[in-house]
Amino acid sequence: MFAVHLMAFYFTKLKEDQIKKVDRFLYHMRLSDETLLDIMARFQAEMQKGLGKDTNPTASVKMLPTFVRAIPDGSENGEFLSLDLGGSKFRVLKVQVSEEGKRNVQMESQFYPTPNEIIRGNGTELFEYVADCLADFMKTKELMQKKLPLGLTFSFPCKQTKLEEGILLSWTKKFKARGVQGTDVVSSLTNAMKRHQDLDVDILALVNDTVGTMMTCAYDDPYCEVGVIIGTGTNACYMEDMSNIDLVEGDEGRMCVNTEWGAFGDDGALEDIRTEFDRELDLGSLNPGKQLYKEGLANTREILTDLGLEPSDADCIAVQHVCTIVSFRSANLCAAALAAILTRLRENKKLVRLRTTVGVDGTLYKIHPQYPKRLHKVVRKLVPNCDVRFLLSESGSTKGAAMVTAVASRLQAQRKQIDKVLALFRLTQEQLVGIRNKMRVEFEYGLKKDTHPLATVKMLPTYVCGMPDGTEKGKFLALDLGGTNFRVLLVKIRSGRRSVRMYNKIFAIPLEIMQGTGEELFDHIVQCIADFLDYMGLKGAQLPLGFTFSFPCRQASIDKGTLIEWTKGFKATDCEGEDVVDMLREAIKRRNEFDLDIVAVVNDTVGTMMTCGYEDSNCEVGLIAGTGSNMCYMEEMRNIELVEGDEGKMCINTEWGGFGDNGCLDDIHTQYDKEVDEGSLNPGKQRYEKMTSGMYLGEIVRQILIDLTKQGLLFRGQISERLRTRGIFETKFLSQIESDRLALLQVRRILQQLGLDSTCEDSIVVKEVCGAVSRRAAQLYGAGLAAIVEKRREDQGLEHMRITVGVDGTLYKLHPHFSRILRETVKELAPQCDVMFMLSEDGSGKGAALITAVAKRLQQAQREH
Ligand code: 0WK
Ligand code: 0WK
Ligand code: BGC
């Protein structure tokens, strides 16, 4: 017993001495806490460098975007193939991911050797070998007849611009196959698989093993946002904020970044802690200068003996301690880099304390008896403000790769279905030319006496025959009804210097008035006039009035207008078929407080044309892209068969909103347009308007979002009550959502207001849907406008024509892209016309006053004759 104690003491003494000797010898390998904190700070700086667009090229830690934007959310399901290449073992797997909330994954796998002549041979042979193993696996598992998506775990630094692509930057570990660096390994494998006729596999995702590991662990622990491999090689990935990843477009949400921390120090950043042994080892490695990194005395003796050595006890103790110091330093270094990542996560989230999970895999971590404990301990020491759970990945990174593939295939399937819907709104050049020509035919129909009654584009004479000539002067009242706002205006026109001063007041038209009785509507209008005259101290003033009434009216003269039918949100009873000037006069009489000389009733397109024509005599077209949609233009009297006379011109209010009511647009009329029409106040009417104007675009988008949500493609299939509400998705939302300046986060805020809990992907799709709907509207407007300017050019027998279009309306004014797409479409469809667009700053009220002034002047002239 004494001998045992003596032996134990001697041994302990020997051990202590040996350990001290080794410690002194390997003193440089012991890293103090200060040094580790310093290395942590250096790594943080390297991460920043790698994430920066300008600094990335010279960064040693490449911070590679992986295009994995989300961790599993439990909706993943399906059958997938998975390849795991790059670790110590090469595996082929079939992964079955099931749904219905039951988060279980079944995997069948087969290991295949990675002979040196393959992994250090020629690249083509390497991928052919991998394809052969895959084919062999599928034969064995009788999967050959199945078309299965595949996730490729490829554990080497790859530059990715999308999930299903990866340019190999450099081989690491034992691999050194020729002709692969700088090429896309996904297409190399795809080509190699082509050799197997009956192999029908789609590589949907390439992931690094750290990413696969993070996803595998995140499937069980949603806190997992870091993946670490400490095996043959070492590396880590984590979920970074998109706003910090300069190399990828977009600032919203997060993306997994593969740090490739193995290269940390390649730029000399770790020179001060590298030892001669590290340099020695590096020189002997397959990639010198790149990527700068084991139990039990009995084991030690056995291993040393296997190495042909005859170790003494002292040797074994020394070797064991060397191993301890080397693995200790490895754990310390990994801990320092990991602590840097955890600190970044905490700072990104602006948290004082971070709770997170790190998914880990790799044989060194798994089988080294003390490694995990040391790593955890040092990490917790370096980042005391992080509650870190380490989760060992039981099933390797391939389960995670299958998750990524499952998400990719779900997104791909979704993408296909969403593209199918968006394609319905994509108009080809040929279709646009067709629409321009159809509109042109409808114009002719409307102008001709015989065909006018059937025409859907009414081409209504307005009795506005001349543009103001600058001699107009006086004070005029103007009413502007039919757009977003009802305005009462006082317009002072001074002749000669073409100066117009305007005072106006905006009044609301409540829905119950819009859709009440005609009498109530006109009484309300007269009430507003009274308030305005009061406000302006004009009570009792007998002023000529111009009435902008933005609805289809058949006119027999400038001051007569019979409402053909209501459009937009109006549906007041006892008005259609009535003369709206008479109805206004009766309402004024009913009030019996003041009298007005209603001189003209004009359409807002005409008022807009006149307002702009006052500044630019080339302006002979008026366009409204607002709540409603319409266009007017100056037509040759000889072409207007409904009005006597062939001299001069008259403005025609086309009321093109009705274009397509005869079915000529059915080929582009979608189910969503149908639903909007059926839910409108005037089903079957105003088809063109319902595909183009502000009153309806939001509704079309809402119908599409409901349909996509029903298909489970959006908002996890959850339709909110608010989204079911007609008119809730206002067109102004389109303008906001499509604004380039608006971050996706703000899109999500808008969706939140609609009770929709959306993901990044959801908001991207919503933005696309808004874009598709507004683009079609702008193109349809462009086709209609091209038809009229082409008609005017041909009517005047001009090879080339310059013309100005006066335009107004909130859609044209506020939508970020509408006006540009409209202009581009007109340019393409009417190349011989040089069309200037002039925005009406003052609205059509000014135009109405000018028309009133012209009418008064003409009346005056007639009286004097
Ligand atoms: C198991 C993973 C694999 C990864 C490997 C790393 O499934 O993707 O490459 O761990 O550990 P190693 O095998 O290199 O020790
Ligand atoms: C402002 C004009 C008005 C017209 C309106 C159309 O003054 O006459 O009706 O533009 O745009 P909205 O207000 O419908 O967007
Ligand atoms: C009306 C037109 C009006 C247009 C723009 C349409 O609904 O029918 O008269 O010009 O809206 O306000």
- Report the percentage of the chain scoring pLDDT > 90: 72
Distance from the CA of 87 to the center of ligand 1, in angstroms? 4
pLDDT for residue 764: 86
Average pLDDT over residues 661-668: 97
Determine whether the shortest distance from the Cβ of 550 to ligand 3 is under 6 A: yes
| Catalytic annotation, pick one of 487, 585, 687, 776 | 487
- Report the percentage of the chain scoring pLDDT > 70: 96
Average pLDDT over residues 136-141: 94
Q: Which ligand has its closest atom nearest to the C-alpha of 86?
A: 1
Determine whether the shortest distance from the Cβ of 212 to ligand 1 is under 6 A: yes
Determine whether the shortest distance from the Cβ of 82 to ligand 1 is under 6 A: no
CA distance 50 to 73: 29
Residue nearest to atom 4 of ligand 1 (CA): 87
Q: Best of 459, 481, 551, 566 to mutate for ligand 3, by most ligand atoms within 8 A of CB?
A: 551
Average pLDDT over residues 794-813: 96
Q: Which residues contact 4 (CB under 8 A, 6 or more apart)?
A: none
Place of tokens 């207007």: 640
DSSP state, residue 119: H
Distance from the CA of 480 to the center of ligand 2, in angstroms? 8
Residue nearest to atom 11 of ligand 2 (CA): 809
pLDDT for residue 301: 85
Determine whether the shortest distance from the Cβ of 567 to ligand 1 is under 6 A: no
Determine whether the shortest distance from the Cβ of 808 to ligand 2 is under 6 A: yes
- What beta strand segments (E) does 209-323 contain? 224-230, 234-241, 254-258
828 pLDDT above the threshold of 70 = yes
616 pLDDT above the threshold of 70 = yes
Determine whether the shortest distance from the Cβ of 155 to ligand 1 is under 6 A: yes
Determine whether the shortest distance from the Cβ of 806 to ligand 2 is under 6 A: no
827 pLDDT above the threshold of 90 = yes
What number does the ligand 2 atom closest to the CA of 480 have?
Answer: 8
Determine whether the shortest distance from the Cβ of 630 to ligand 3 is under 6 A: yes
What number does the ligand 3 atom closest to the CA of 628 have?
Answer: 11
Active-site residue flag, 550:
yes
- What beta strand segments (E) does 417-473 contain? 460-461
DSSP state, residue 53: T
Neighbours of 145 (CB within 10 A): 8
Question: Which pair of structure tokens corresponds to residue 559?
Answer: 């001051």
Determine whether the shortest distance from the Cβ of 151 to ligand 2 is under 6 A: no
Place of tokens 């602006």: 350
CA distances from 597 to 478, 538, 559, 600 (A): 11, 14, 10, 9
Question: Dihedrals φ, ψ of 30, to 5°?
Answer: -90, 125
Question: Which pair of structure tokens corresponds to residue 506?
Answer: 């905006």
pLDDT in tens, 381-439: 999 999 999 999 988 888 899 889 988 888 888 889 999 999 999 999 999 999 999 99
Q: Which ligand has its closest atom nearest to the C-alpha of 175?
A: 1
Question: Dihedrals φ, ψ of 398, to 5°?
Answer: -70, -30
Question: Dihedrals φ, ψ of 813, to 5°?
Answer: -75, -40
Q: Which of 227, 698, 653, 622 is closest to 460 using CA atoms?
A: 653
Residue nearest to atom 5 of ligand 3 (CA): 628
Q: Do residues 546 and 848 make contact, with C-beta atoms less than 8 angstroms apart?
A: yes
What number does the ligand 3 atom closest to the CA of 568 have?
Answer: 7
Q: Which ligand has its closest atom nearest to the C-alpha of 844?
A: 2
Indicate the length of the chain as a whole number.
Answer: 865
24 pLDDT above the threshold of 90 = no
Determine whether the shortest distance from the Cβ of 810 to ligand 2 is under 6 A: yes
| Catalytic annotation, pick one of 184, 361, 523, 604 | 604
Average pLDDT over residues 727-742: 87
Supply the pTM of this predicted model: 0.81
Which residues lie across from 653 on neighbouring strands?
460, 632
Q: Best of 83, 155, 368 to mutate for ligand 1, by most ligand atoms within 8 A of CB?
A: 155
Confidence class for position 294, pLDDT limits 50, 70, 90: very low
CA distance 47 to 775: 41
What number does the ligand 2 atom closest to the CA of 624 have?
Answer: 6
What number does the ligand 2 atom closest to the CA of 607 have?
Answer: 8
Among 140-144, 163-167, 407-411, 448-452, the minimum mean pLDDT is found in 407-411
Determine whether the shortest distance from the Cβ of 361 to ligand 1 is under 6 A: yes
pLDDT in tens, 195-243: 888 888 999 999 999 999 999 999 889 899 999 999 999 999 999 999 8
Active-site residue flag, 863:
no
CA distance 518 to 498: 37
497 pLDDT above the threshold of 80 = no
Distance from the CA of 482 to the center of ligand 2, in angstroms? 7
Q: Best of 562, 563, 601, 604 to mutate for ligand 3, by most ligand atoms within 8 A of CB?
A: 604
Distance from the CA of 565 to the center of ligand 3, in angstroms? 11
CA distance 456 to 661: 6
Q: Which ligand has its closest atom nearest to the C-alpha of 479?
A: 2
Distance from the CA of 809 to the center of ligand 2, in angstroms? 5
Distance from the CA of 398 to the center of ligand 1, in angstroms? 10
Q: Which ligand has its closest atom nearest to the C-alpha of 603?
A: 3
| Catalytic annotation, pick one of 395, 550, 758, 844 | 550
Distance from the CA of 361 to the center of ligand 1, in angstroms? 6
Active-site residue flag, 209:
no
pLDDT for residue 377: 94
CA distance 610 to 707: 43
CA distance 483 to 481: 6
pLDDT for residue 99: 56
Distance from the CA of 224 to the center of ligand 1, in angstroms? 18
Average pLDDT over residues 818-823: 97
Distance from the CA of 24 to the center of ligand 1, in angstroms? 34
519 pLDDT above the threshold of 60 = yes
CA distance 294 to 52: 37
pLDDT in tens, 37-87: 999 999 999 999 999 999 999 999 999 999 998 877 777 788 999 999 998
